[in-house]
Structure 1
Amino acid sequence: MSLPNISRVSASGLLRSSRDLRWLLRSVAPLAAPRRALTQMGYRRPGQPREDRPPWWRVKFDLAKGLKGMKRHFKLLKEEFFAPFVGPMGKPIMEHMLEQNQVLWEFRGPHSLQEWTISCDREIGGKSEIYLKVGRNNESCLLYGTLCSDPPKDGETRYSGYCTMRSKQPLASFDRKKYHDWSSFNTLHLRVRGDGRPWMINIVPETYYIHQKDDMYSYFLYTRGGPYWQDVKIPFSKFFLAHRGRIQDDQHPVWLDKINSIGFTLGDKADGPFQLEIDFIGVCKDYAHTEDFAYEKYKRNPEV
């Protein structure tokens, strides 16, 4: 007689718990997520249409090209394997310790432009134009174009007028991400020749969280104009943290051990032609510069 009572009690308890669970789920938002979650999609500029095609639609299958790519990747893998036996970054240990200057990009010929990409507000419907070509005698790169700050008439974009040049992400074998290690240096060294416009130098480090993927460190590059070259040295301690063009309150020095790219941006709202000629971009170690960070760092737990 006790078994039916136990089964009746267990059945009634199970029914009551299922009712409570059903009532609880009514107050919770539906679990169905949109087609593309906000945290999974890339940043889309205002006015730019959303691309709903799957990523494999952009892949072009070619056997000859695939074999050539495999050969290149295995060659890079071989170099990566034997480079640590020579020294850090494939250099002897004494050369790495005594190195005080390092040229990262030297523009000598059309092949040196393949590591860079350019963009402007024309991608979102603007009217600016930007071009990149090899300078005179194949000894520099010339970045030129026309800046126009008129916003596109799409009803969404309020501001416009920018042109940018950015280095590509370095890749190791099999398209793995590779980084620039500038931890042994403290100053950015450039040799440029501009037209008097102020530019913005942007350094993009590697981030670990998705909300930091648009973080970059910026500083100003003031060109003198005229026919003469100028050597510019900017300490890394002067670069400030910004997120999508907005300067952040929580400032901290840039981590130089993992740098993805460096870029130049023009957005001074002065409509008209512009040009910037770059000879080389490098880093150096200035022993006279002892500054750790030029801006105030807020402490979450200040010392008493």
Structure 2
Amino acid sequence: MSRFRSLLQASIAATKRALAWNVEDLMPPSEKFVFNFNSKEELKRWHLHSDSEFGGLSTASLEITDVGSNEFNGFIDLESYDTLAMRVRGDGRCYISTIYTDNWLSTTPGQQENNSWQALVYAPKNQWHVTKIPLHQYVAKYKGRVISSETEMNPSRVVAMALSVNAERDVRVPISGPGDFRLEIDWIKALRTTDLI
């Protein structure tokens, strides 16, 4: 009988351990790669645009220097994260980081475009730098104009991201206005810098 009781107690203890969930097991990691620029396949996820498509004079190119792999299909879910980080090496210019989300904020009835959110990124000249942008600092924009500084992004349905040169003159950065530009991107990560509630 004592052997049966020991076996029963061990079985109950094992069942309790199996049924007990641990919050840490359910919590996503504190950071995840969104893009890791280390393969030609990764590069295919990005589209290259310049103002030459609209009658402008600029040109741009996109190259990859290393090899590796990283896959993405569908939405990028950043719901569990509060900051976007990127490791960049630039030319002293200011760039614009854009996050496109599935359209749930409409400025025009029947609008089918994705929502865009923008923040500025400074890329120090000739040195690798990790820049961190809290998601709440991204401002909702439509056709280059701020929609509302009070509007919040829906980070669970990111459909695309973009980086573009800020060609406007800006006294706050060493190089601004028209001219050549170069930005190298090592990786883009989503970070959780605060505890989930």
**Which category describes the TM-score, using the shorter chain as reference length?**
0.7 to 0.9
CA contact under 8 A between 1:215 and 1:243: conserved in structure 2? yes
Q: Which residue of 2 aligns with 1:237?
A: 136
Tell me, in whole angstroms, the C-alpha distance in 2 between the residues paired with 1:95 and 1:194: 38
For the pair shown, which has the larger CA radius of gyration, 1 or 2? 1
Contact 1:215 1:244 in 2 (8 A): no
Deviation at 1:214, TM superposition (A): 5.2
Counterpart among 100, 123, 128 of residue 58 in structure 2? 128
> Which deviations, in whole Å up to 9, do the C-alpha atoms of 1:250-280 show, x marking residues without a partner?
6311001111111112132422211000000
Q: What stretches of structure 2 of length at least 5 have no aligned partner?
A: 1-22, 169-176
Report the TM-score when normalising by structure 1: 0.48
Provide the secondary structure at the position in 2 that maps to 1:257.
Answer: helix
8 Å contact 1:139–1:279 — kept in the other structure?
Answer: no
Q: What SS does the corresponding residue of 2:154 show, helix, strand or coil?
A: coil
Give the Cα separation in 1 of the matches to 2:130 and 2:47: 23
1:246, CA displacement in angstroms? Answer: 0.4
> What are the residue-to-residue correspondences of 1:106-185 with 2, within 5 Å?
106-135=36-65, 138=66, 171=73, 178-185=74-81
Per-residue CA distance 1:92-136 (angstroms, 9 max, x = gap): x9655151110111111322211111111111222110000013x
Shift of 1:180: 1.2
2:188 is the counterpart of 1:281: yes
Aligned partner of 1:261: which letter? A
CA contact (8 A) 1:214 1:244 kept: no
Runs of 4+ in 1 over 6 A off after TM superposition: none
More helix by share: 1
Q: Which runs of 5+ in 1 are unaligned?
A: 1-92, 141-169, 172-177, 289-304
Amino acid at match of 1:218: Q
TM-score if structure 2 supplies the norm length?
Answer: 0.73
RMSD over equivalenced CA pairs, Å? 2.5
**What are the within-5 Å matches in structure 2 for residues 57-72 of structure 1?**
none
Counting aligned pairs with the same residue, the percent is: 23
